[in-house]
Amino acid sequence: MADIEALKFAAEIRISTLETLGAFGSGHIGGAMSICDTLAVLYGGELRHDPENPGWLQRDRLVLSKGHAGPALYSALALRGFFPHEWLQTLNEGGTSLPSHCDMTKTPGVDMTTGSLGQGMSTAIGIALGARLNAWDSYTYLILGDGECDEGQVWEGAIFAPHHKLSNLIAFVDNNKKQLDGTTDEVMNLGDLGAKFNAFGWFTQTVNGHDVDAVKAAIQAAKLETARPSAIILDTIKGYGCTFAENAASNHSMPCAKEDVEAAIAAIRQKLAEVRYV
Higher pLDDT, 1 or 125: 125
Burial of 177 from C-beta contacts in 10 A (0-12 / 13-18 / 19+):
middle
Count of positions (residues) in the chain: 278
Tell me the pLDDT tens digit for each residue of 27-41. 999 999 999 999 999
What's the pLDDT at 277?
Answer: 57
User: Would the pLDDT of 120 be above 90?
Assistant: yes
Neighbours of 50 (CB within 10 A): 14
Among residues 202, 189, 211, 212, which one has the least CA distance to residue 232?
202
Identity (one letter) of the amino acid at 46? E
Q: In whole numbers, what is the pLDDT of the chain averaged over residues? A: 95
What's the pLDDT at 274?
Answer: 83
Q: How confident is the model at residue 108 (pLDDT cuts 50, 70, 90)?
A: very high
User: Would the pLDDT of 272 be above 70?
Assistant: yes
User: Would the pLDDT of 275 be above 90?
Assistant: no
What's the CA gap between 109 and 227, in Å, rounded? 29
What's the pLDDT at 264?
Answer: 96
What's the pLDDT at 11?
Answer: 96
Q: How many domains does the chain have?
A: 1
What's the CA gap between 245 and 254, in Å, rounded? 8
Among residues 41, 2, 32, which one has the least CA distance to residue 14?
32
Higher pLDDT, 161 or 181: 161
Please give the residue range of the domain that contains residue 190: 4-276
With H, G, I as helix, E, B as strand and everything else as coil, classify residue 189. Answer: coil
Among residues 85, 27, 13, which one has the least CA distance to residue 244?
27
With H, G, I as helix, E, B as strand and everything else as coil, classify residue 255. Answer: strand
What's the pLDDT at 249?
Answer: 87
C-alpha distances in Å from residue 120, one per residue of 4, 66, 111, 192 = 31, 8, 11, 21
Q: How confident is the model at residue 276 (pLDDT cuts 50, 70, 90)?
A: low
User: Would the pLDDT of 242 be above 50?
Assistant: yes
Mean pLDDT calculated for residue range 212-225: 98
User: Would the pLDDT of 1 be above 90?
Assistant: no
What's the gap between Cα 172 and its chain centre?
8
Q: For position 77, which CATH number holds?
A: 3.40.50.970
Identity (one letter) of the amino acid at 71? P
| Helix boundaries (H) for 173-243 | 184-188, 193-199, 212-223
With H, G, I as helix, E, B as strand and everything else as coil, classify residue 148. Answer: helix
Among residues 35, 50, 37, which one has the least CA distance to residue 3?
37
What's the CA gap between 166 and 138, in Å, rounded? 12
User: Would the pLDDT of 262 be above 50?
Assistant: yes
User: Would the pLDDT of 114 be above 70?
Assistant: yes
Among residues 174, 157, 183, 222, which one has the least CA distance to residue 72?
174
Helix axes 4-24, 258-276, angle to 10 degrees: 180
